[in-house]
């Protein structure tokens, strides 16, 4: 079963993502805290981390860079997820080394598609 960690500061979107992803058969852990994410990754060993780009303490792209530095060989797939424009999100994803990105406005089906694409063996 694919394990996913979702990091988003919006409680309603966090809960929506958790519920929908669980309905799709994924094992989901959801948190609104960016601090401690690398520790959570080491403990939970998720296959994918989905992170909001627009977090108050640490942006998703900054968090992604921290994860890559802390776990250069063992980082999970990292996906930025945001309401910013697709061109801006694509640039942030490329700049930070994300494995993918999805605009929240594209809906959960697009996010699920990206997860399935990244977890193909």
- SS3 readout for 74-119: CCCEEEEEECCCHHHHHHHHHHHCCCEEEEHHHCHHHHHHHHHHHC
What pLDDT digit, counting tens, does each position of 9-52 carry?
A: 999 999 999 999 999 999 999 999 988 999 999 999 999 999 99
Looking at per-residue confidence, does 121 or 34 come out higher?
Answer: 34
pLDDT band at 121 (very low <50, low <70, confident <90, very high): low
Identify the pLDDT of residue 25. 96
User: How many separate domains does the chain show?
Assistant: 1
CATH number of the domain that residue 27 is part of: 3.40.50.2300
User: What is the DSSP code string of 36-82?
Assistant: THHHHHHHH--SEEEEES--SSS-HHHHHHHHHHH-TTT--EEEEEE
**Domain around 24:** 3-118
Please give the Cα distance from 65 to 44 (Å, whole number): 19
Tokens representing 39?
Answer: 């520790």
Average pLDDT of span 78-86: 96
């Amino acid at each position: 079963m694919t394990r996913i960690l979702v990091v988003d500061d919006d409680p309603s979107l966090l809960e929506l993502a958790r519920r929908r992803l669980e309905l799709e058969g994924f094992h989901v852990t959801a948190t609104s805290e960016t601090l401690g994410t690398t520790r959570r990754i080491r403990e939970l060993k998720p296959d994918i981390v989905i992170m909001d780009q627009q977090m108050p303490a640490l942006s998703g792209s900054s968090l992604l860079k921290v994860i890559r530095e802390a776990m250069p060989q063992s980082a999970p797939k990292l996906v930025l997820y945001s309401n910013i424009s697709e061109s801006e999100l694509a640039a942030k994803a490329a700049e930070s080394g994300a494995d993918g990105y999805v605009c929240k406005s594209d809906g959960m089906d697009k996010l699920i598609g990206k997860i399935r694409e990244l977890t193909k063996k």
